[in-house]
Amino acid sequence: MTLSGVYVPLITPFDAAGAVAHAALEALAHQVLDAGAAGLVALGTTAEPASLDPAEQRAVLDTLTRVCRERQAPLLVGANTPAAVTALGGRPEVAAALSLVPPFVRPGEAGVVAHFAALAAASPVPLVVYHVPYRTGQQLRPDTLRRLAELPGVIGVKLAVGALDTDAVDLLAEPPANFAVLGGDDVVISPLLALGAHGGVLASAHLATAGFVELVDAWRAGDAGRARALGHRLSALSAALFAAPNPTVVKAVLHAEGRIPTATVRLPLLAPDDATVEAALARLAGVGAPVGARS
């Protein structure tokens, strides 16, 4: 199976007492799937996983596993170590672990390939490589991504290099067979889809979900005019949602829409200012797609 379409890396909503609001999380999961999302991501960066204790992480995963089982939707799970990927065994809803290139170590590209070979060998589920060099400090060239694609058990990459660069163009000009390239930089998802990306892992798709789904469908159908116009509006929305550290603005907008009980984020994140939230709400209104519903 090649992953494709829009995957939403769900936030972790908190209630007024600061606990995980599981009913709101479940409702969000159903809303984005109702709007056409292909699947969900649990415990990705957008979920603030470092601020969740192990019991909270397990409970979040339990909630989203249940939703994906009910909806027969694939689930990606942020998991970066042999212990974390092994713990995903016995959860048939998990389509893959979303696993970071080892951060801070900067082991070199050969070291990254060796790391993923070992991780894939230990994992009961396939792996999607999360390549985000402006966070990890490790660049990967297209030929290295192709070497990763040849590893048994590695089925895709979340490509979040901070821009649409020549390496992305090179990779998509000759994409590896049966290997999903999923965009992870929301602002440039439209041009990446135009080059042939299979879809995206998009925090922005908490909002105007149906619009992002339509964008993927339009590029697949070769309807460049429709895709460009929609892509411009969604890019502006994404830029507004990422005007402060993710997921602070996404949470504030979801709360303003009445979809989560609070806009609370945990330290080290801080709430965005009112002007930033108002700008994102204005951009959302300009997309023209209903929040959490098909267009």
Residue 75 backbone phi and psi in degrees, to 5: -120, 130
Please report which helix (H) or strand (E) contains residue 170, including its range: helix 166-173
Percentage of the chain beyond pLDDT 70 is 97
Structure tokens at 290: 């209903």
Residue 129 backbone phi and psi in degrees, to 5: -70, 130
pLDDT of residue 2: 83
pLDDT in tens, 85-108: 999 999 999 999 999 999 999 999
pLDDT of residue 293: 39
Question: Catalytic residue numbers?
Answer: 130, 158
pLDDT of residue 260: 98
Render the burial of 126-164: b for 16+ CB within 10 Å, e for the rest.
bbbbbbbbeebebbbebebbebbbebebbbbbbbbbeeb
Look up tokens 């809303």; give the residue. Answer: 31
Cα distance between residue 256 and residue 252, in whole Å:
6
Along the 295 residues of the chain, how does pLDDT read in single tens digits? 689 999 999 999 999 999 999 999 999 999 999 999 999 999 999 999 999 999 999 999 999 999 999 999 999 999 999 999 999 999 999 999 999 999 999 999 999 999 999 999 999 999 999 999 999 999 999 999 999 999 999 999 999 998 888 999 999 999 999 999 999 999 999 999 999 999 999 999 999 999 999 999 999 999 999 999 999 999 999 999 999 999 999 999 999 999 999 999 999 999 999 999 999 999 999 997 443 333 3
Listed in sequence order, the residues at least 6 apart from 287 whose beta carbon sits closer than 8 Å to its beta carbon are: 207, 208, 211, 233, 234, 237
Please tell me the total number of residues recorded for the chain in this structure.
295
Name the nearest CA neighbour of 237 among 253, 223, 225: 253
User: Are the CB atoms for 199 and 6 separated by under 8 Å?
Assistant: yes
Query: 17 burial class (0-12, 13-18, 19+ CB within 10 angstroms)?
Result: exposed
Cα distance between residue 124 and residue 263, in whole Å:
35
Enumerate the domain spans of the chain: 5-287
pLDDT of residue 288: 73
- Taking the domain 5-287, which CATH number applies? 3.20.20.70
CA-CA distances (angstroms) from residue 86 to 2, 47, 119? 22, 20, 10
User: Are the CB atoms for 41 and 160 separated by under 8 Å?
Assistant: no
